[in-house]
Amino acid sequence: MKKRIKNNVYWVGKVDWELRKFHGDEYSTHKGSTYNSYLIQEEKTVLIDTVWSPFAQEFVKNLSEETEIKKIDYIIANHGEVDHSGALPALLEHIPDVPVYCTANAVKSLKGQFHRDWNFQVVKTGDKLDIGNGKELIFVEMQMLHWPDSMATYMTGDNILFSNDAFGQHLATEELFNDLADQCELFGESIKYYANILNPFSGILKKKLGEILALNLDIDIIATSHGVVWRDNPMQIVEKYSQWCDDYQENQISVLYDTMWGGTKRLAERIAEGISMEDPEVKVKVINLAKTDVNDAITEVFKSKSVVIGSPTINRSILHSVAGFINLMGGLGFKKKKAAAFGCYGWSGESVKHICESLEKAGFQVIDEGFKNTWNPNDDRQRDAIEYGRKIAKA
């Protein structure tokens, strides 16, 4: 059933309560998600984005109960990823000649995925589309936020920014609007989404936010493609993005590790104690990477000013949970964060050196050669680990 956003603008998307993994199995969605599609019924009938492919038939059926499908004049495809374009093939079977407004890169991504030659109308930043009743759609390219094809669409008159993935979050909600959502869940999912999806593009985002603000658009509503519609102080999420894209960090240090027989775990706990003893103000998180959702762990890294990474030595290397996590951190492009390494070993002892090298490659500022311990740490070595924690806090 459609839900009114404002005047003649309606939400016609899908709430996916069951979703627990997104982007294949790369991103955990503990709270489900939504695929937001919007129907504008001015003199022209316009559809902005669709839903993920598995819900295509349901989407077209529901849409046909809200408007005669043949009455749709224009389709806006803000982004080609299938969670928003997935219902286009089913929809366009009914209206194959309807123009699809999108960026030049979206023509490539849509053709590449669906192998159809629809009536694409390529738009660039500043291009306008008259939808009647004195209202227009204005397009803003959002290249690499987060695909080359991404764009946003601004509707004059009602002052709605259809921002697609930007400012979204994976949060299933029946209430739809930000002021009605559980605020803790809303901001928790928003920062996780930023840390795990948008962080690599922070530099581009910083520039783009500046460009959008310079346009001096009146923005009453930000209608994203996932999660809530921001109608209560919509600029609050823009302000959050301004902070997050600027090498964000809180007064937090995270100790992330995996362990085989508990030695490296004991070091993690002692190091955490030392950090806290040295600086009681700093928030310390201790995270076993083999037992923690990786996307939640990445969110803690995003908030941290320093990370301390631990693994015992295995096969002259490190545990795969830690190796995979460092690789993931490297791809996400964190900047201006300090790092240190620790780990136990029995004989060859390569893990700490390996972690230090990997962290440097991943863009972290490694503070020293790390803390190594042979076999299980005895009381003296545990005291040394506390001192090492103090050193990290001072760094």
193 labelled catalytic: yes
* Residue 53 CB, nearest approach to ligand FEO (Å): 12
Which residue among the candidates 84, 170, 226, 354 is catalytic per the annotation?
Answer: 226
Q: Give yes or no for residue 81 binding ligand FEO (CB under 6 A).
A: yes
Q: Is 36 in the site for ligand FEO (CB under 6 A)?
A: no
23 a catalytic residue? yes
Q: Contact with ligand FEO (CB under 6 A): which of 16, 49, 83, 258? A: 83
Report the distance separating Cα 148 and Cα 273, nearest Å: 45
In whole angstroms, give the CA distance from residue 190 to residue 86.
Answer: 23
Task: Tell me which residue of 366, 230, 372, 353 sits closest to 306, measured CA to CA.
Answer: 366
Count of Cβ atoms closer than 10 Å to residue 68 Cβ: 11
- Catalytic residue, chosen from 146, 154, 158, 354, is 146
Whole-number Å distance between alpha carbons of 88 and 83? 11
How many Cβ atoms are within 10 Å of 209's Cβ, its own excluded? Answer: 18
Give, in degrees to the nearest 5, the angle at Cα 199 between 194 and 204. 115
**Phi and psi at residue 37, in whole multiples of 5°?**
-125, 145
Give the closest residue to 22 by CA, choosing from 115, 105, 146, 141.
146
User: If 0-12 CB within 10 Å is exposed, 13-18 middle and 19+ buried, where does residue 297 land?
Assistant: buried
Q: Which is nearer to ligand FEO, 79 or 270 (CB)?
A: 79
User: Which span sits near ligand FEO by CB under 6 A: 78-86, 212-220, 332-340, 377-385?
Assistant: 78-86
Tell me the closest approach of the beta carbon of residue 165 to ligand FEO, in angstroms. Answer: 4
Distance CA 189, CA 169 (A): 5
Q: Between 45 and 225, whose beta carbon lies closer to ligand FEO?
A: 225
Give catalytic status of residue 226 as yes or no.
yes
Q: What angle is formed at CA 238 by the lines to CA 40 and CA 16, rounded to 5 degrees? A: 55
Q: Does 165 bind ligand FEO (CB under 6 A)?
A: yes
Measure the CA–CA gap between 158 and 136, rounded to whole angstroms. 10
Q: Which is nearer to ligand FEO, 169 or 304 (CB)?
A: 169
DSSP 178: G
For ligand FEO, the closer CB: 146 or 231: 146
Q: What is the dihedral of CA 187, 189, 195, 201, to 10 degrees?
A: -90
170 is a contact residue toward ligand FEO (CB under 6 A): no
Nearer of residues 21 and 128 to ligand FEO, judged by Cβ: 21
Q: Name which of 106 and 131 has its Cβ closer to ligand FEO.
A: 106
Kindly state the greatest CA–CA separation across the chain.
Answer: 78
Q: Build a one-symbol-per-residue string for 113-152: x at contacts with ligand FEO by CB under 6 A, - elsewhere.
A: ---------------------------------xx-----
For ligand FEO, which is the closer residue by CB, 197 or 393? 197
Task: Tell the smallest beta-carbon distance from residue 83 to ligand FEO (Å).
Answer: 4
What x-and-dash track marks residues 212-241 binding ligand FEO by CB under 6 A?
Answer: -------------xx---------------
User: CB count, 10 Å around CB of 189?
Assistant: 27
Neighbours of 207 (CB within 10 A): 11
State how far the Cα of 378 lies from the Cα of 194, in Å rounded to an integer: 41
Q: Is 81 tagged catalytic?
A: yes
Q: From the CB of 51, what's the least distance to ligand FEO, in Å? A: 10
Choose the binding region for ligand FEO from 79-87, 127-135, 207-215, 339-347 (rule: CB under 6 A): 79-87
Residue 115 catalytic? no
Residue 197: CB minimum distance to ligand FEO, A: 8
Q: Which residues bind ligand FEO (CB under 6 A)?
A: 79, 81, 83-84, 146-147, 165, 225-226
Q: Which of the residues are catalytic?
A: 23, 79, 81, 83, 146, 165, 193, 226
